[in-house]
Amino acid sequence: MADSVSGLDDELDARVESLLKDPQYIGHPLREALADLTARMAQNLTRLERIIRISDRYQTDFQDHVHDLSKSYDRRIRSLERAIRISDRYQSRLHDINHALQLISTHDQLTGVPNRRLLSDRCRAEDKRAARHGTTYSMALIDVDYFKRVNDTYGHSVGDAVLVELAKVLRSCIRDFDLCARWGGEEFLALFVDADITMAERISQRMIDRVRQLRVSAEGHVVNITVSIGVAQHLREEDYAATFSRADAVLLQAKSAGRDRILLDERRPTPPIEA
């Protein structure tokens, strides 16, 4: 179809050119008008071709610009994706660091059990719960017998290994909702939630028995230990520090009586007065 139109245009151009060249039409009024029309059409055609060339250049420049913008967009998207990945890694590392800092602040670095700070917070919470709901709890203060002798005989690295294994044994003896922490040095403190002195004595006896069976192998040595335990039940009129003091007092008595034993504080909570 396009070829047919182009052929008709060429044929019309040829006829017009032939008419303008024919001498018999010289001076004819329509010849001059036809010549002017042909000249104007040629000018318009030239102008149109120039516009088309400009348009083509514009289209090319526009396409190049779009292409450049697309490449720039892709680069920015890739940069953003890298930034997001870096941010995700940073957030993950920050979470790990915060978790590690939390563990360091609340757990003993050597044995991995809770430290004095965490257990003190838990004891204060139990004091509030006891005051509000009339509940009770018991404490067991545990001390390794003759631990200085272990360090002096085998060295502090063996002593550290003994504490690590002892902590595992003590944790295995308590209930899920109890807490056993390293209080300091070779001392551990267990908090027995909702436990009277009878329950506390039963758990403490389990600790004594399992520690007697413990054999710690470290640096070519095999070390066995015993522990002494003082147990006290919380009284309604006191805070955890007072309960701890009574457990500490009977622990000293247990060590003075020969060690490797449990002693119980004699004081018991008075029953509430019924209305």
- Residues noted as catalytic: 186
- H/E stretch holding 27: none
* Cα 53 from Cα 59, distance rounded (Å): 10
**Cβ atoms of residues 138 and 201 within 8 Å:** no
Residues contacting residue 127 through CB under 8 Å, at least 6 positions apart: 234, 239, 240
**β 262-264/227-233 pair status:** parallel
Residues contacting residue 105 through CB under 8 Å, at least 6 positions apart: 117
Alpha-helical regions (H) of 107-134 = 116-133
* Cα 171 from Cα 131, distance rounded (Å): 27
List C-alpha distances in Å: 10 to 7, 17, 231: 5, 11, 118
CA dihedral 109, 176, 92, 116 (to 10 degrees): -30
**Cβ atoms of residues 157 and 218 within 8 Å:** yes
